[in-house]
Amino acid sequence: MHDINREVIETFLYREADLLDRWQLNEWLTLFTRDAYYQVPPLDARELPPEQALYLVDDNYERLNSRIKQLLKGNAHAESPVSRTRRAVTNVMFALQPNGEVQVRANFIIHRVRRELLDVYMGRYDHILVQTDGKLQFRMRKAVLDLEALRPQGKVSIII
């Protein structure tokens, strides 16, 4: 087990953001455990669990893998052509849990450009990380948007 500290966690989060910005989605998927979830709660019920609200995204590993295949094949018309994104991850806080998990909270801002339009997504990440074979991985990756509405696009077509 490697020591978990701020530098290790921030490096993991920065690497993840870089993989997404460079559209390295297959490599990005390796950052997830097989029992992982990727979630984006609804804008009007951000703190409710998925059993009590209709999430914008609530993917287990298999659905996330399918989502990535669609994006990479160009089958996701909302991302054809592919968006260009730049992500900033800040205010990283973490807590080591007795069971070995690491709870992480961080702020994010994503600038997305597609077809000459700029969209900005901002919010916070609530992650659960675990160490597998000496490497950090997501057991849960949750992106809580701090938006009042999804405008002008009306949907989430990128990985937040």
DSSP 118-144: EEEEEEEEEEEEEEETTEEEEEEEEEE
**104 pLDDT band (50/70/90 cuts)?**
very high
Compute the average pLDDT of residues 51-55.
Answer: 94
pLDDT of 27 over the 70 cut: yes
Q: Which token pair is 41?
A: 């709660």
Q: Is 33 helix (H, G, I), strand (E, B) or coil?
A: strand
Nearest Cα residue to 143 out of 5, 10, 17, 9 = 17
Nearest Cα residue to 139 out of 51, 47, 61 = 61
pLDDT of 74 over the 80 cut: no
pLDDT of 103 over the 80 cut: yes
pLDDT cut 90: percent of the chain above it: 78
Contact by Cβ (8 Å): 124, 107: yes
pLDDT of 76 over the 80 cut: no
> Phi/psi at 75 (nearest 5 deg)?
-80, -10
Confidence at residue 19, expressed as pLDDT on a 0 to 100 scale: 98
E strands along the chain, which residues?
32-40, 57-60, 84-96, 102-114, 117-132, 135-145
State the sign of the Cα–Cα–Cα–Cα dihedral 44, 25, 115, 75: negative
Confidence at residue 2, expressed as pLDDT on a 0 to 100 scale: 58
**124 pLDDT band (50/70/90 cuts)?**
very high
**152 pLDDT band (50/70/90 cuts)?**
low
| CATH of the domain spanning 6-145 | 3.10.450.50
What mean pLDDT is reported for the chain? 92
Confidence at residue 1, expressed as pLDDT on a 0 to 100 scale: 45
Q: CB atoms < 10 A from the CB of 63, how many?
A: 13
DSSP category for residue 155:
S
Helix (H) or strand (E) holding 65: helix 61-73
